Amino acid sequence: MIRDFKPSVRRLRTLVLVGAVVCTATVMLVVVGTSSGARAKTPTIAFISQGTSNSWAAQLDAVARKTAKAAGVKLVYFNGQGDATKQLPEIQTAIAQRPDAIVLVPLGQAADTGPVERAMSMGIKVILCDSTVKTNNYTSLVNPNPATAAVPLAKWLANKMHHKGNLLYIGGLPGNATTILYDQGFNQVMKQNPNIHVVNGGNANYSISTAKQLTATAIASGKTFGGTWGVGGEAVTGIMQAYVDAKVANIPPNAGAAATNGSLRLAIQSHIEAAMLQFPPADAKVCIETAVKAIKGQTVPKNINISALPQYGNLYPPLNRYYKPQYSDDLYVGTDKVLTHAELAAIHLTK
């Protein structure tokens, strides 16, 4: 019996054609999938800075941007404008964008605590840079430790004062964690020196001009000071400028500065004995690099004490070995080790 095979042939051709279409579609899917997979998402870091409030912040920002570019990550910048109340909504905005990591320079120790904990609960890595908040719920803290670094400076000053007399104190920014730590180290030493009378001249709020005005007022009061202490480079620079302008013959020894080229110059030119703590904006490099490691899933230290690194130790006389005459007064010691001459010129730090 002879069968008609034509329907079978037709079915076979149909199956072959369907198979070819399926194979083609599969190949297209594989190609498309491979192509999109090859374009991995660029990690994003929200950098919530202190903001454009002073030269320290400008150097910190420049170092952060350079480091992020070198690491191949996207840096989204948020400007705190040097004000805790203005920085807080910037933190909220950054969290809402769900970056891979946040590098925060906290201006409000208490106010910033809630947002930091919220970001951590959302799986966002949080690196605290150069200041703290009131929680341990963060990824890593990169910070000089003024509480410990200020102790040998305060002891040095007490020795210079022969452990007696009036000491003019010009403070930093009330409520700021860095100021609080500075004061902890300073007060620890002063409690051991009951014959040193600390005269509080007021808070400079990290402003040279404010520190200068406060010091000028203290000098005009008629009191004689055997030593001066300033919380940060701005406070100390203002203190020394006020003494120079007042033409005081023997300017008392000073301690507490975050070392700048200007504070070094003033101390050297005016023959002021001075000792300085380093609070280097160059450590933004460590902050960003730590965030990149955390994004990649690498283990990072809970605390990185910048003050423990030899290149960021305290500075004592003779100070001329640290001064760089080719740069402006606003250069912080160590920034020129990270930024090139051209990069420093771009933020107005060259002469």
Stated pTM of the model:
0.79
DSSP structure string for 234-250:
HHHHHHHHHHHHTT-SS
Segment 235-249 shows an average pLDDT of 95
- In the chain the domains, ranked by start, together with CATH numbers, are 44-143+281-309 (3.40.50.2300), 146-277 (3.40.50.2300)
Place of tokens 């000073």: 254
Q: Which two tokens stand for residue 330?
A: 């606003």
What is the tens place of the pLDDT at every residue in 99-148? 999 999 999 989 999 999 999 999 999 999 999 999 999 999 999 888 89
Highest-confidence range of 240-244, 262-266, 276-280, by mean pLDDT?
A: 240-244
pLDDT at 39: 55
**pLDDT tens across 48-92, in order?**
999 877 889 999 999 999 999 999 999 999 999 989 999 999 999
Q: Could you report the per-residue pLDDT of 12-38, keeping only the tens digit for each?
A: 344 334 344 434 444 343 334 444 444
pLDDT in tens, 308-348: 888 888 999 999 999 999 999 999 999 999 999 999 999 99
Asked whether the beta carbons of 78 and 49 are under 8 A apart, the reply is yes
CA distance 206 to 233: 8
